[in-house]
Structure 1
């Protein structure tokens, strides 16, 4: 499976009373697809999937699948606290028309390496769908070792890894391993230019919610080896991306959407809106990026 291009972990819009705003979600999806993104990730971390009840999750998944259709690759986030939970979510996604999964190790239980490997193999066998592994130890509490990634890359369904550890030496080890039918995906937004320089052509980035065309332009410049343009484009958006990654990531993704004319409401508890000072700093940096 080719997973190249910008893949957006779409935010979930909420109304003022906290319910899901499907009209705003449709508008956001169209905004991103019209900008040229290649894939939509439903129920990713940026989408606040952890705040959904079962009914809300199903409705969001079904709505995105129907609204996007074949306009972009449909990727379902299927993280859960236990393996069978991820299997059930994967099977639901398959029934709804998703063609790929994104999956992290189960959070909180801190599985050992052999348990992480078995987790992925079980979901692969029972769901029989392409899987992008998700390595984000800051959230899951454990890391998928390079050795485990190499072993799992031999599974016919495991097609890539979103690398969000922030340790670029890990990514470089995997890139240079030249694994068959397997792609390394940039998952550390502030390191995107480094990934592109080393030949990566897939990027799952939360800032693409509000800067989709800039993300697409970076990928397109890299595809024709215009590294000077990659550097210039990255220089323009790096300050606002670093501000977003420093804290309040989800809140700032939503602030960014509102600022570019695609309002999506606030975050759900336990997250809270950012301070007025932080909001002003973020918007100022976003304005600089948009005017570059």
Structure 2
């Protein structure tokens, strides 16, 4: 998707065409979802200044064994890696996790494992609006909530058909809320089964229910993003932008944080920009990093999530370069280009004075 200044934003997590990577580069459940966490992360954060309350929430990958089963040992290592890199929350069982290719039992097991591994150090959310009927969606929501997470994420495209209007969408949400007691929820403008961007009308309704404590936005157009951020004011909902090209603008406009796919490549960089986007002393570096992240987005998005697993493997995470939704393996040229991005990433760390996270 290419709108306004966000030309490098990919068509979010849909089946991406493979090909040569060729872009030139330079240089007990908490009801306040992402309230400042009192518990310490599993691994100490040693990379960032954290001069603001902004937060990076990664969209977690699913590691697999060579036989195609979920590798829970590597999932533990990956969780630790995110925390070591400064993540202040985790989004499990999302599109990056290949949630539509997981069985219901796998979705629950994966989410339960992450919640147990974190053990309250940071908040965890996971998608739960699966099922053919609204009763099915409500039942699975209850099941996944009881894995120990802080909120259940609702896919906006699950609550009305593509051709139906906002009134139908609101009616869908209302029926769902009536079936799920007071379970804390969040929303995600996921591109599958179709991308349903929340209009101001629907967003106001959702804010008024007092059921939402998280929103992952994929609106892309920053003027529209800012309009939604302005609506949040004093509501307990926390607004996270998925579009890395918007990062600095969104954070400075009042977004709580970022939840972008590039956090699966260089999470400490996203943690740093969340911490420093509003820091007047680091604006030259903030703008430099913003420009670089925007330039690299199309590169890392090609053949995602295999590209992310290759990059993490280079970084020492023992993850297999495999997935259930990839249509083709990484090419030699794609690997070569990702190797170059890795070198550039190390240069970013040197410039802003942080160390790459390790596990």
Partner SS state of residue 339, structure 2: helix
Matches within 5 A, 1:160-199: 160-181=214-235, 182-199=237-254
Residue 37 to residue 95, structure 1, CA distance change in 2 (3 Å): same
Partner SS state of residue 12, structure 1: coil
Structure possessing the higher relative contact order (Cα contacts under 8 Å, 6 or more residues apart): 2
Measure how far apart 1:139 and its partner are: 5.3
Q: CA-to-partner distance for each residue in 1:41-64, whole Å, 9 max, x for gaps?
A: 110000011111122222212211
- State TM-score, norm by structure 2: 0.74
Q: CA-to-partner distance for each residue in 1:113-153, whole Å, 9 max, x for gaps?
A: 22322333334343323222112457524332222112211
**8 Å contact 2:55–2:257 — kept in the other structure?**
yes
**8 Å contact 2:92–2:127 — kept in the other structure?**
yes
Select 2:286's aligned residue among 224, 230, 239. Answer: 230
The count of aligned residue pairs is 291
Measure how far apart 1:257 and its partner are: 1.5
Higher-Rg structure is 2
Residue 37 to residue 270, structure 1, CA distance change in 2 (3 Å): closer
Q: CA RMSD of the aligned region, Å?
A: 2.3
Residue 119 to residue 15, structure 1, CA distance change in 2 (3 Å): same
Matches within 5 A, 1:33-72: 33-72=83-122
- State TM-score, norm by structure 1: 0.89
Matches within 5 A, 1:1-292: 1=32, 3=34, 4-80=54-130, 82=132, 83-107=134-158, 109-110=161-162, 111-127=164-180, 128-137=182-191, 140-181=194-235, 182-225=237-280, 226-245=282-301, 247-265=302-320, 266-269=322-325, 271-292=327-348
Partner SS state of residue 46, structure 1: coil
> For structure 2, which runs of at least 5 residues remain unmatched after alignment?
1-31, 35-53, 349-359
> For structure 1, which runs of at least 5 residues remain unmatched after alignment?
none
More helix by share: 1
**8 Å contact 1:33–1:71 — kept in the other structure?**
no
